[in-house]
Amino acid sequence: MHEKNYFVNAKGIGYDRVTMSYDLIVIGAGPGGYVAAIRAAQLGLNVACVEKEKTLGGTCLNVGCIPSKALLESSELFASAKENFREHGINVGTVSLDLKKFMARKDEVVKRLTTGVAGLFKKNKITPVFGTARLKKDKMVEVAGSAGSRILQARNIVIATGSVPVALPGIPFDGKRIIDSTGALSLAEVPRELVVIGGGYIGLELGSVYLRLGSKVTVVEMLGRIVAGMDGETGEALYRALKKQGMNFRLSTQITGASVKGSAVEIALKDAQGKEEALSADTLLAAVGRKPATVGLGLEEAGIKLDEKGRIAVDPNFQTNVEGVYAIGDVIAGPMLAHKAMEEGTTVAEIISGQKGHVNYSTIPSVVYTWPEVASVGLTEDDCKKQGLEYKAFKYPFMANGRALSIGYRQGFVKLISDPKTDRLLGAHIIGPRASDLIAELVLGMAFETTAQDIALTVHAHPTLAEAVKEAALGLGEGAIHL
């Protein structure tokens, strides 16, 4: 092909270049997309990756996982300096917040990681193409940038465009008073009162950031509990912990309308009994979920089918109904998690390269990065009951763990669920310090069909938080030692 089109580089500069053909074009440079591109390049494919934003990394690195965790870490340190340092004999005087520097640190973390992805693209000889992609027939991709457009073609295409926040009808984002999760990452001032719509992990994490910084935070959740998919006992423990920290909850309540009046947002509520009420806040954060980012992608023109929920339909090898066109991550069925997309990215690249690949969806962990953290994998007790499975559960509290006490953390527990006949682990649920790291041992165990006894017989260093995992496993057998 020799048709000339504009190519738009990372700096937004356009110049003439002939249309190119690749072994693989990945649309979207988020966790799923950039991992798919890198793995495919490692396997010898000639790869291009199209990204509509000016930097690589997608939502996760730029306005999702990474910046939110940076803010959570900084806000946790701020709260500790104000409330917990004295317990350790550390007197720091008056603690104040420099919000500008607080946000600048978050931006620096993001910059380091997005620059790192660009370096990995260069190392693996992946061609980054900046612009908005639209699928055409015959595995053609039109990429439009500020200086024009060009047509790319490939033997294979992977759609990895991720997801976008869901907006509630009648509650439009204005980017100032009514915001989504992206807006919450760059507020110019700490709200005096913040109302969060949605008791899922996004709302609770961002609500925790501003609660620690001094906001009065109220979470409005339509269901009768927060983090509805979580193990019930663990979810209730998180609810109590956040409530003790000062977070307010309005459960079984929905927001029926919101409007900006001057410097305030007037919010209309209705509870399960139909009682109506009004709230006023400086800022309203809508965090009710995300939906696949497929608008304008040209799926209909390319003949790609969607499922009943508007997600791209794929077969077990991630291929759509169009041969050679694949989809991964948030645009297909399954949890909208960065690590799920990454595993699918690796797997689809290997499948396209002629290898075998598989993602074990039963061992994908989920984490809520509040304080305490919550991490889960596998079945909950409710799941076992609904499926009619026999199970055994044991809970070991962190207050009995020496390492937890030495670092000043007493909340939470490790809860393991096993099959009473085979002793194989069915699920694990941790609420407490660094649960996000502790869950990895149990994910590995479940992936290899480990028994509780296998965990119990494994030597864990002392004193460590991980000993709580061992004790919980012992509890499923003859009994925990330190309880």
Check 2, 339, 358, 462 and give the catalytic one: 462
Q: Is 2 a catalytic residue?
A: no
Asked whether the beta carbons of 206 and 68 are under 8 A apart, the reply is yes
Assign 3-state DSSP to the chain and report helix, strand, coil percentages, each to 5. Answer: 35, 30, 40
Surface-to-core class of residue 352, CB atoms within 10 Å of its CB (0-12 exposed, 13-18 middle, 19+ buried) = buried
For residue 25, give the H/E element and its range: strand 21-27
Strand-pairing partners, residue 135, are: 141
Beta strands in 160-201 (DSSP E): 163-165, 178-179, 193-197
Q: DSSP labels for 102-153?
A: HHHHHHHHHHHHHHHHHHHHHHTT-EEEESEEEE-STTEEEEEETTEEEEEE
Surface-to-core class of residue 458, CB atoms within 10 Å of its CB (0-12 exposed, 13-18 middle, 19+ buried) = middle
Contacts of 64-68 with C-beta under 8 Å, sequence gap 24+, read 64/181, 64/338, 65/31, 65/338, 66/109, 66/110, 66/113, 67/106, 67/107, 67/109, 67/110, 67/185, 68/181, 68/185, 68/202, 68/205, 68/206, 68/209, 68/369
Three-state DSSP state, 41: helix
Which of these, 368, 372, 342, 344, lies nearest to 61 by C-alpha position? 342
Q: DSSP labels for 77-95?
A: HHHHHHHTGGGGT----S-
Q: DSSP labels for 271-333?
A: ETT--EEEEEESEEEE-S-EEE--TTS-HHHHT--B-TTSSBP--TTSB-SSTTEEE-GGGSS
Tokens of 362: 């039963």
What DSSP designation does 24 have?
E
Q: How far apart are CA 313 and CA 307, in angstroms?
A: 5
Catalytic residues: 462
